[in-house]
Each structure stands twice: as C-alpha cells, then as structure tokens.
Copies of this chain bind each other. A is one copy, B any other.
C-alpha cells in the first residue's frame, strides 16, 4: 500500500478527535467558567492527538467502527493532557512553555492548574464510562449493550492501570527520583515504560478492544502498542537532545538541564537512534498478519521513529 497518505490520514483523524473532544467536554461557559476555560485551554493547544488517533487506528485495524471508539479516544487524550498540566507545575518540571504557549499554571494560576488536571482526569473516566448506550435511544439491544459494558469496563481497567501508580504516575515519580542520579539503560527503560509507553500501549489496546479484537489479532495489536510506546519515548528524547525549541515547542535541551534519565544520555544519540529503528522494525513485524487494515498503524510508527532517527 505505497499510496497510503499519512499526512491526510492524520489530518482527518485529528479533526475527528477534536470534534469528539469538543462534544465530550462540558462547554467553556459551564460553571465555574474559569475551570472550563482552563480545561479547554489545555486540551485545545495544538497537540498532534497521537494517542487518540492510535485508539481509532487500533479500532480500524481490528475491523471495528471508528465511532464506537470516540469516547475512549477522548478519555486517553484527556489523561495525557492532565499529565502534561501537572508535570509542568512549579513543584514538578517547572515548565513555563508547552507547544509554544504559556503552560496552564502560567496562563491561569497554580491552584487552578492542579484542579484543571484533576478535572480532566476525572472527566476522562466519566466519558469512557459513557462509551455504552444508556438504554434510551441506543440501537444496540440489551444483550449487545451488556456485552459492550463488560468490554468498556475492561478498557477502563487497562487505561487506569496505564495511568496510575503502576504506570504513568509511578513512572513520573521514578523520573523525578532519578534526576541527577547516574542512570543505566534498564532504569531509563523502566521509567519510560511506565511514564509514556504504558498509556500509548493502552490507547492501541482500547481501540483494539472497542473494535472487537480478540485472540491473535488482539495479541499482535498489544505487542505493537507496547513496542511503539517505547519507540515514541526514545524518539522524544532524541528530539529533546538534538532539536531546537522552534521544533519541539519546549525549552531547548530541557531534559539535559534537569539531569533527566534519557536514552541519549545512556546510549548516546546514535545508539538511541539505532534502538528506535529496531523497535520500529518490530512494530512492522508484529503487524504483518493484519494486512492493509493496519496500514495506519504502520505509517504512524514509521513517522514517529523517522522524524527523530533520520539524522
């Protein structure tokens, strides 16, 4: 499928995700308006929507209807967004700029940034739990709705595990503890698996389950998600170490400044690029049995790694 146009795929899916987020979030003038303004400021900040697009692409690769994965895509993006708002706080990474704009605690204030993150995390689960018809006006019969409820609960569990103490939050604590401490590759991988890779893997997983995947297809999609998650973080580290603030929208070389545990720090930039390319090869290998339906997942993995490893 050499004709696959990733740029146009990402563009249409991103606008689909933006529409779903706009519908899922309370309106900006809901009381208290300052909270809802801050939530939307954080959510509509020009992000690439990689995670929710992975939910949709995972659903497509499983042969499901994308619309059935909209709520779960929103939930994953809101969890990602809340984590950025809290990570940027003065007590954490103390970043004043995110995607070239003032971070939430700078644009509003610190208390509101804490509460905005809390609200986004909570709304994520509210929206995910609503991924099943409520019995009034849904097309699904009672049996189908009940089966779907069990599936949604499974996805909520997977997302919460990826986001919680064993996943993203635990990874962030380990990351803060590792600042300035000499890191080796095992420590860096263990931090990244939890801090970044877990939620990316959960995104693919959520889409796959929403799309009805089971057996070998589900296993393949899970292996892809786990591998892509790690590749993504390595690529992000490489960009932080090599690109300018104009490219990343963040402060230049912020990781090195904080003495963060990163792949370039333990493997060198060339070694990190090699590791990312090996993970890409694995992503493509596990997707082989899935045929053309998995083309978006292949293209996303290639894009994520190549933009960082091409140098």
Contact = CB atoms under 8 A, between A and B. Distances in A.
Interface stretch (A151-159, A204-212, A255-263, A301-309): A151-159
A41 B134 CA distance: 38
B114 A164 contact: no
A173 interface: yes
Contacts of A67: none
Majority-rule SS of A interface residues = helix
A170 B35 contact: yes
Contacts of A119: 164-165, 169-170
Contacts of A157: 126, 129-130
Interface in A125-151: 125-126, 129-130, 132, 134, 143, 145-147, 149-150
A212 to B, nearest CB: 15
A39 B170 CA distance: 11
Interface of A: 26, 30-32, 34-36, 39, 82-83, 86, 89, 91-92, 109-112, 114-115, 117-119, 121-123, 125-126, 129-130, 132, 134, 143, 145-147, 149-150, 152-154, 156-157, 160-161, 163-166, 169-170, 172-174, 176-177
